[in-house]
Amino acid sequence: MNQHADLLLRGGTLLTPNGRQIADIACRQGRIVALGDLRQWSSDQHLNLTGLHVLPGVIDSQVHFRQPGLEHKETIEAGSRGAVLGGVTAFFEMPNTHPLTLSGADLQAKLDIAANSSWCDYAFYIGGSASNRNEMLALEQLPGSAGIKVFMGSSFGDLLTDNDDVLRQLLSHGQRRLAVHAEDQARLIARKQQLGDNHSVHLHPHWRDEQSALLATQKVVRMAEQAGRRLHLLHVSSAAEMAFLAHHKRLVTVEVTPHHLTLAAPGCYEQLGTLAQMNPPVRDQRHQDALWAAINNGLVDVIGSDHAPHTLAEKQHPWPDSPSGMTGVQTLLPIMLDHVHAGRLSLQRLVDLTSAGPARVFGIAGKGRLAVGYDADFSIVDLQAQRTIRNPWIASISGWTPYDGRQVTGWPIHTVVRGHVVVQDETLMTRPAAQTIKFTESFFAEPS
């Protein structure tokens, strides 16, 4: 009996839970309805994927799209457009906008913007602070909420949580996994006072040193263990943190970023200056080697871009007055595919870190694998395609990337969001009706 699909993907090499297989995919009403030899099926639209690899849609669980309030740096429309051009099909956005995302009304304002402008599916973090600490349980369960994000350092105003009592209260209120930026604010303040009048960006990883990260990580993990609260540690950047976390994984999941895996001091600061400036900082090769070891031994759960754009004019301010942050959502997949080509990780491991891993860690419903019943989200790549990343390709309002001029092997060719072909042959098509990411009930349960 001839069956009909809205979209048929024919002849691609699929990265499924059972490994690689050459097969067809049928999509109907935004979901996968069949996998295998589907030559008898008809469709409204089809793509011939011979020679291409089909990955479950990449989920970037840490971006800063700066809207509302900072639209001169980035917008949800431009950031998500860059996402799909780079093969990303869903994102979690962070709360340090103007106004800060601290309430249900703040969240709804972002959801309204995304509903009218996003190129892919979305969820938004709510910031945990002294001002809303008693509302965490209700706020984290709102539709479209990715959960609660806590800044132990490197933030401002109500988002900075450098008080131990407030941190304990945030850990004790709520059930979902708490996302944390772990740098010790007191140490950062003390070390900055020691810098004097030196304005060399080479000092950035010395100011925000390994100990600053380790102290905060040790503190929040031990508090979480006392409270029985699950944690997600963002952009872990140091060898000492990885050594500590290897003994504290029961409640803790770990993110690393492409820039910490790709750039290294001192060379990146010599080449890029403040364009390489991030918090926590890009460190030397010893730390990068430790991050790769943690990927290869399974300690790392997720790769997120920490896309955090600033304008080139802002980045040209003399350090340390220059802001920390760089674009990353559009280059996450190309950079990591190049690492696959270089043999630093397998393609299957990359899928776990960018698709299955985020779905597992955050309890995302219907995403993260190629399987019947799941959302028809696909990052379709050519593993042999050679490209040079250039600033004009970057969709971000800020218009630059630290990888300008870098040659990579492996490139996103098509991007499909819930059965809608958003990017075809590297060309942007029509914007889909993007939706809020849904989460499973187990995401809200207390850890066992």
Under 8 Å between Cβ of 422 and 84: yes
Under 8 Å between Cβ of 338 and 415: no
Amino acid letter, 115: A
Tell me the pTM: 0.96
d(CA 119, CA 58): 14
Is omega for the bond preceding 392 within 30 degrees of 0, making it cis?
A: no
Under 8 Å between Cβ of 139 and 149: no
pLDDT tens string 69-104: 999 999 999 999 999 999 999 999 999 999 999 999
Place of tokens 């059930």: 175
Instruction: Please compute the mean of the pLDDT values over residues 311-319 and round it to a whole number.
Output: 96
pLDDT of 222 strictly over 60: yes
Instruction: Please compute the mean of the pLDDT values over residues 248-273 and round it to a whole number.
Output: 98
Query: What is the distance, to the nearest Å, from the Cα of residue 147 to the centroid of all Cα atoms in its chain?
Result: 14
Give pLDDT, residue 198.
80
Give pLDDT, residue 196.
77
Give pLDDT, residue 360.
96
pLDDT category, 415, cuts 50, 70, 90? very high
Residue 94 burial class via C-beta count within 10 angstroms: exposed 0-12, middle 13-18, buried 19 and up: buried
Residue 334 burial class via C-beta count within 10 angstroms: exposed 0-12, middle 13-18, buried 19 and up: buried
User: E-assigned strands of 182-303?
Assistant: 231-233, 252-256, 302-303
Under 8 Å between Cβ of 256 and 292: no
d(CA 381, CA 137): 40
CB atoms within 10 A of CB 28: 17
User: E-assigned strands of 164-223?
Assistant: 178-181
- Domain edges within the chain: 57-369
d(CA 90, CA 436): 9
d(CA 434, CA 418): 9
Least confident of 66-80, 190-204, 307-321, 415-429: 190-204
Half-sphere exposure of 433 (CA within 13 A, CB side): 2
| 326 SS3 class | coil
Instruction: Please compute the mean of the pLDDT values over residues 423-427 and round it to a whole number.
Output: 98
Helices 185-193 and 210-227: angle between axes, nearest 10 degrees: 160
> How do strand 302-303 and strand 378-388 relate by DSSP bridges?
unpaired
The CATH homologous superfamily to which domain 57-369 belongs is: Metal-dependent hydrolases (3.20.20.140)
> How do strand 407-417 and strand 420-424 relate by DSSP bridges?
antiparallel
Give pLDDT, residue 193.
85
| 4 SS3 class | strand
Give pLDDT, residue 158.
72
Give pLDDT, residue 448.
45
Of 60, 121, 301, 306, which is the active-site residue? 306
Instruction: Please compute the mean of the pLDDT values over residues 209-219 and round it to a whole number.
Output: 97
Instruction: Please compute the mean of the pLDDT values over residues 44-61 and round it to a whole number.
Output: 98
306 included as an active-site residue? yes
State the sign of the Cα–Cα–Cα–Cα dihedral 280, 281, 286, 289. Answer: positive
Under 8 Å between Cβ of 96 and 151: yes
> How do strand 4-16 and strand 19-28 relate by DSSP bridges?
antiparallel
Closest by Cα among 157, 164, 132, 155 to 145:
132
Torsions phi, psi for 340 (to 5 deg): -60, -45
Q: Which long-range contacts (CB under 8 A, 24 or more apart) does 71-74 make?
A: 71/397, 72/311, 72/397, 73/309, 73/310, 73/311, 73/314, 73/397, 73/398, 74/309, 74/396, 74/397, 74/398
* Bridge partners, residue 7, by sequence: 27, 45
What is the percent of the chain with per-residue pLDDT over 70, rounded to a whole number?
A: 97
Instruction: Please compute the mean of the pLDDT values over residues 318-332 and round it to a whole number.
Output: 96
Q: For all residues of the chain together, what is the average pLDDT?
A: 95
| 363 SS3 class | coil
pLDDT tens string 142-200: 999 999 999 997 666 677 777 899 999 999 999 999 999 999 999 998 998 888 778 89
d(CA 112, CA 166): 30
d(CA 78, CA 84): 10
User: E-assigned strands of 70-120?
Assistant: 88-93
Q: Which two tokens stand for residue 289?
A: 């080697």
